[in-house]
Structure formats: C-alpha cells, structure tokens
Amino acid sequence: MKTRILGLFATVLLISSCCVAQEKSEIAKTGSAHSSTQILIVFGKVSNDARTLLTDLDSEWKVANASVLKGYEDHLVRVRCYIDAEKSQLHILSIKKENGAENYAARYADSAFRR
C-alpha cells in the first residue's frame, strides 16, 4: 500500500515538473534582449537630423541610440550594429566614416602592366 502511494506521488511530481519546465522555456524564448544576436555591418548615409540611416539597399532605419550619429550628418558611414527588423530599428555599436568617391591611381611599374 505504501509503495503504491509513493509511486503515485512520484508520478504526479514528475509530470508537474515537466509542465513547469516547458513553460519556463517558452518565456525565455520571447524575452530576448536583441532580436538579432549577431553583429552586422551596414553601409549607409546618415540623415540631416542624425536619427535615421539610409542603407545601400535604399531602406531607411531608425537609430535607437541616435546620439552616436552626431557629427556624421550627410556622410557615408559603415556601422556595426544589432538590427531589430520588427521596429525597423538599429542599435549602433561602432561607426566609421567612409569615403564615397575614392580615387584610384594606376602604377605603370606594376607587374600587371608588363606583358
């Protein structure tokens, strides 16, 4: 009699712990800090008010931490960031100014010109 009660109690405890474990995993999936956990590199032009970034694919993104873009207005930049596609928003980690029109010079003494 005691073994049946103990077995029943163990079964109920096992089933309830499995249900609780499944509920906690669903909560952990929905409460992530960044929707994109990878750091991405995006090229684009900063707007006049330094609140948006127009990327090379002609898509406009709002910037979550817009204070980072101060001083880069109307410039072409390369940005390392997290992307939140649902809100169309970027969280910038680092920024670097790019030269839009780089000048290349050919060196005629180079081996590519000797044939």
Q: Please provide residue 61's backbone torsions phi and psi, each rounded to the nearest 5 degrees.
A: -120, 135
Identify the domain containing residue 18 by its residue range: 1-31
Which CATH number goes with the domain that contains 84?
2.40.50
Residue with tokens 């101060």: 70
C-alpha distances in Å from residue 51, one per residue of 7, 45, 71, 91 = 63, 11, 12, 12
Give buried/exposed letters for 59-79 (b at 16+ CB in 10 A, else e). eebebeebebbeebeebbbeb
Domain count, the chain: 2
Distance in angstroms (rounded) separating the CA atoms of residues 1 and 24: 35
Evaluate whether 16 touches 23 at the Cβ level (below 8 Å). no
50 and 91 co-located in one domain: yes
pTM check: above 0.85 = no
Q: Residue 59 falls within a domain, yes or no? A: yes
77 and 44 co-located in one domain: yes
pLDDT in tens, the chain (115 residues): 888 887 877 787 678 776 666 655 444 444 445 556 678 888 899 999 999 999 877 789 999 999 999 999 989 999 999 988 888 898 999 999 987 656 566 676 777 766 6
